[in-house]
């Protein structure tokens, strides 16, 4: 195997699916083979049955819908404010000098630590969940976008100037298009974080959502349901990530090798 | 008439982390006349790029001033087209869109942009590659596009900073002939930076030889090669039809009748320049 040599699409899919099979087989062997106590880890069959029960009897689909809505709501909020601010910071250094120190400080504030405060301020409704996701992703997003825009190739900016571009046009005609693929990739990454924060938000003080179902199942010691909930999150994450990636490739064909 | 005048232009870069400042360019004067093809020739690090960047308005001189048609140069502008050594095509734009970049900045109508872009795409022999992104192009094709992009603005002077430095020999020869053909048929004024003696003699009608760092122009030499006369004879043929002439004589087929070897035809000029470059820099 030589480094950096790409593999064919077929091999890639085969290998990717292969690990899922290995993982599933190991899990099945550990649980059905009796190596692990059922109280701690449900076997795949129990999980599937629990999942079916959740969906058909307990209306779990609605919980999934609520969670997805929260993720995308909080994510959209962070993106709508964060991307323009990040672009402005990357492009104009005084704006960066103004915001950067505070945002660098704020991004180290643990988002989950805000939950008690957020509940105090916004109650245990939707606003609290969205705000938590916002706090968890906004500051990181702003900084990453600012770095991306700020590291635009200087020679491209200079080339644009020698072609008659004015300072006002540089942002729209050079900084934005050259940063767009990386910003889109950053958003994809941040969407992944939003999924982590939504479950944290739902574990405390929620009456619906996947996270809420998981806390409920904990009280019942139903590891089958817990694992089903986790798997559902993983599957939705995988699908949204794939869609995002495909969209990025469609939008920015020039950035591909 | 001198278009571009450099008057005692020097550049000193401030020291890095308390170090001593770097004198990149000693006070240098140079006059470029209409339709000149001047090569700035000197070893690496002698301040050629610095000088060209000052002319482009991308850098400011520490002392001295630059004027173009009498107006002082203080900022970059479309009247000075530039081709960089590094590939600076906008990767998110196709070949055609790259060439239209400056035209769009000028506010030309889309139809006008299309017409001019098509003309220069043909001029540099890139028909069929209009919709390609820079990543899909070879280095030579990227520099062709960069040349077309600079030419499309119809600048008063074309500034080239070792534009063919990263290309293989064969491609470089083709590009040199392409540029000479454009210079001859379109009556362009060119300031061309190179560290390659052969290239300087082959391309220029005047070579300004620079000393090693801190650079200054040690000697200016007028080049009058026999093959230049022969190439001039090609001029009218190329001038008859800007697009069609280039398409036939220019690369990628590259079947120009011009002799390739530059110094061979003019040993005297070559030796003179070589002596200047090799000689001790203190002797001016
Ligand atoms: N931005 C800069 N800051 C400090 N020193 C520089 C800068 N640009 C160029 N120099 C120095 O100026 C000298 C001339 O550089 P340059 O003009 O690029 O040379 P050339 O193009 O002839 O190879 C070099 O010694 C280089 O290190
Ligand atoms: Mg240089």
* Cβ-based contacts of A173 with chain B (< 8 Å): 101, 105
Position B269 scores a pLDDT of 61
Position A247 scores a pLDDT of 93
Question: Residue B263 carries which DSSP code?
Answer: S
Task: Name the residue of chain B whose CA is nearest to A169's CA.
Answer: B105
B62 lines ligand 1 (CB under 6 A): no
Contacting residues for B186 by C-beta, under 8 A, at least 6 apart = B151, B242
Is the CB of B150 less than 8 angstroms away from the CB of A163?
yes
Domain boundaries, chain B: 94-154
CA distance B202 to B204: 6
* Ligand 1 center to B155 CA (angstroms): 26
CA distance A26 to A20: 10
Contacting residues for B270 by C-beta, under 8 A, at least 6 apart = B197, B198, B201, B262, B263
Q: Is A158 on the interface with B (CB under 8 A)?
A: yes
Q: Is residue B234 within 8 Å of B184, Cβ to Cβ?
A: yes
Task: Please report, in tens digits, the pLDDT of each residue of chain B (284 residues total).
Answer: 568 999 999 999 998 888 899 888 999 999 999 999 999 999 998 999 999 999 999 999 999 999 999 999 999 999 999 999 999 999 999 999 999 999 999 999 999 999 999 999 999 999 999 999 999 999 999 999 999 999 999 999 999 999 998 889 999 999 999 999 999 988 889 999 999 999 999 999 999 999 887 788 888 888 876 655 444 444 333 333 333 333 333 333 333 444 444 444 455 566 666 666 665 544 43
Task: Name the residue among A156, A158, A252 with its Cβ closest to that of B90.
Answer: A156
Task: Name the residue among B58, B149, B159 with its Cβ closest to that of A163.
Answer: B149
Q: What is the pTM of this model?
A: 0.83
Is the CB of B105 less than 8 angstroms away from the CB of A174?
no
Position A15 scores a pLDDT of 95
Structure tokens at A98: 């103004």
pLDDT digits (tens, 9 = 90+) for A171-189: 999 999 999 999 999 999 9
Is the CB of B102 less than 8 angstroms away from the CB of A252?
no
Position A243 scores a pLDDT of 93
* Cβ-based contacts of A178 with chain B (< 8 Å): 90-92
In angstroms, what separates the C-alpha of B77 from chain A's closest C-alpha? 5
* Ligand 2 center to B146 CA (angstroms): 17
Sheet holding B157-161, edge to edge: B80-83, B157-161, B190-194, B37-41, B206-210, B217-222
Q: Ligand 1 test: best mutation among B9, B40, B45, B194, most atoms within 8 Å of CB?
A: B45
CA distance B217 to B284: 9
Q: Which residue has the tokens 């059922």?
A: A38
* Cβ-based contacts of A256 with chain B (< 8 Å): 135
Q: Which atom of ligand 1 is nearest to the CA of B11?
A: 12
Nearest CA to ligand 1 atom 2: B13
* Ligand 2 center to B48 CA (angstroms): 6
Position B6 scores a pLDDT of 93
Q: Is residue B52 within 8 Å of B46, Cβ to Cβ?
A: no
Complete DSSP assignment for A50-94: HHHHHHHTS-HHHHHHHHHHHHHHHHHHHHHHHHHHHHHHHH-HH
B165 lines ligand 1 (CB under 6 A): no
CA distance B263 to B271: 9
Task: Name the residue of chain B whose CA is nearest to A164's CA.
Answer: B78
In angstroms, what separates the C-alpha of B56 from chain A's closest C-alpha? 7
Position B271 scores a pLDDT of 65
In angstroms, what separates the C-alpha of B261 from chain A's closest C-alpha? 32
Task: Name the residue among B82, B105, B134 with its Cβ closest to that of A169.
Answer: B105
CA distance B47 to B208: 13
CB atoms closer than 10 angstroms to residue B9: 25
* Ligand 2 center to B197 CA (angstroms): 15
Nearest CA to ligand 1 atom 8: B50
* Cβ-based contacts of B133 with chain A (< 8 Å): 253-254
Is the CB of A162 less than 8 angstroms away from the CB of B133?
no
In angstroms, what separates the C-alpha of B265 from chain A's closest C-alpha? 36
pLDDT digits (tens, 9 = 90+) for A89-135: 999 999 999 999 999 999 998 888 888 888 889 888 889 999 999 99
Q: Taking ligand 2, which is a single-atom ion, which protein residues have CB atoms under 5 Å away?
A: B 49
Q: Which atom of ligand 1 is nearest to the CA of B51?
A: 17
Q: Is residue A214 within 8 Å of A226, Cβ to Cβ?
A: yes
Position A257 scores a pLDDT of 54
- Number of inter-chain CB pairs under 8 A, A vs B: 74
Task: Name the residue of chain A whose CA is nearest to B91's CA.
Answer: A254
Complete DSSP assignment for B70-124: TEEP-S--TTEEEE-SS----TTS-HHHHHHHHHHHTT--HHHHHHHHHHHHHHT
> Per-residue pLDDT for A1 more than 70?
yes
């Amino acid at each position: 195997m030589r480094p950096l040599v790409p593999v064919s699409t077929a091999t890639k899919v085969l290998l990717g699916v292969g690990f899922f099979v290995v993982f599933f087989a190991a899990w099945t062997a550990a649980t059905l083979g009796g190596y692990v106590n059922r109280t701690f880890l449900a076997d795949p069959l129990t999980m599937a049955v629990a999942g079916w029960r959740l969906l058909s009897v307990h209306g779990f689909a609605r919980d999934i819908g609520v969670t997805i809505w929260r993720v995308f709501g909080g994510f959209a909020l962070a993106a709508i404010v964060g991307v323009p601010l990040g672009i402005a910071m990357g492009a104009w250094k005084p704006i960066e000098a103004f915001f950067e120190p505070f945002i660098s400080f704020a991004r180290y504030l643990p988002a989950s630590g805000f939950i008690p405060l957020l509940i105090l301020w916004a109650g245990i409704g939707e606003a609290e969940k969205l705000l938590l996701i916002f706090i968890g992703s906004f500051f990181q997003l702003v900084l990453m976008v600012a770095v991306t825009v700020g590291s635009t190739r200087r020679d491209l900016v200079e080339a644009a100037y020698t072609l008659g571009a004015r300072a006002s046009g540089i942002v729209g005609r050079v900084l934005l298009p050259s940063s767009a693929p990386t910003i889109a990739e950053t958003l994809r990454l941040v969407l992944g974080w939003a999924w982590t924060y939504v479950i944290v938000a739902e574990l405390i003080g929620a009456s619906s959502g996947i996270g809420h179902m998981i806390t409920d199942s904990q009280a019942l010691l139903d590891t089958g349901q817990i694992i089903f909930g986790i798997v559902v999150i993983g599957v939705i994450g995988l699908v949204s990530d794939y869609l995002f990636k495909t969209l990025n490739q469609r939008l920015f064909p020039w950035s591909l090798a | 008439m001198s278009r571009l005048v450099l008057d005692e232009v020097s550049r000193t870069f401030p020291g890095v982390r308390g170090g001593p400042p770097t004198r990149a360019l000693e006070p240098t004067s140079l006059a470029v006349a209409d339709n000149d093809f001047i090569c700035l020739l000197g070893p690496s690090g002698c301040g050629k790029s610095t000088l060209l960047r000052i002319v482009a308005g991308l850098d400011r001189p520490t002392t001295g001033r630059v004027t173009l048609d009498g107006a002082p140069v203080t900022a970059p502008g479309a009247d000075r087209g530039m081709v960089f050594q590094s590939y600076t095509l906008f990767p998110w734009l196709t070949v055609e869109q790259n060439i239209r970049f400056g035209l769009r900045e000028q506010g030309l109508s889309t139809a006008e942009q299309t017409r001019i872009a098509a003309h220069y795409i043909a001029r540099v022999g890139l028909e069929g590659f209009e919709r390609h992104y820079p990543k899909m192009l070879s280095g030579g094709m990227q520099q062709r596009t960069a040349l077309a992009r600079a030419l499309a603005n119809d600048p008063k002077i074309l500034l080239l900073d070792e534009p063919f430095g990263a290309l293989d020999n064969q491609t470089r020869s083709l590009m040199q002939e392409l540029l000479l053909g454009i210079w001859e048929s379109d009556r362009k004024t060119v300031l061309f930076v190179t560290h390659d003696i052969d290239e300087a003699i082959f391309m220029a009608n005047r070579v300004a030889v620079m000393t090693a760092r801190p650079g200054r122009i040690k000697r200016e030499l007028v080049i009058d090669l026999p093959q230049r006369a022969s190439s001039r004879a090609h001029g009218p043929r190329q001038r008859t039809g800007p697009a069609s002439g280039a398409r036939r004589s220019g690369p990628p087929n590259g079947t120009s009748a011009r002799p390739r070897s530059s110094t061979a035809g003019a040993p005297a000029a070559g030796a003179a320049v070589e002596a200047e470059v090799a000689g001790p820099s203190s002797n001016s």
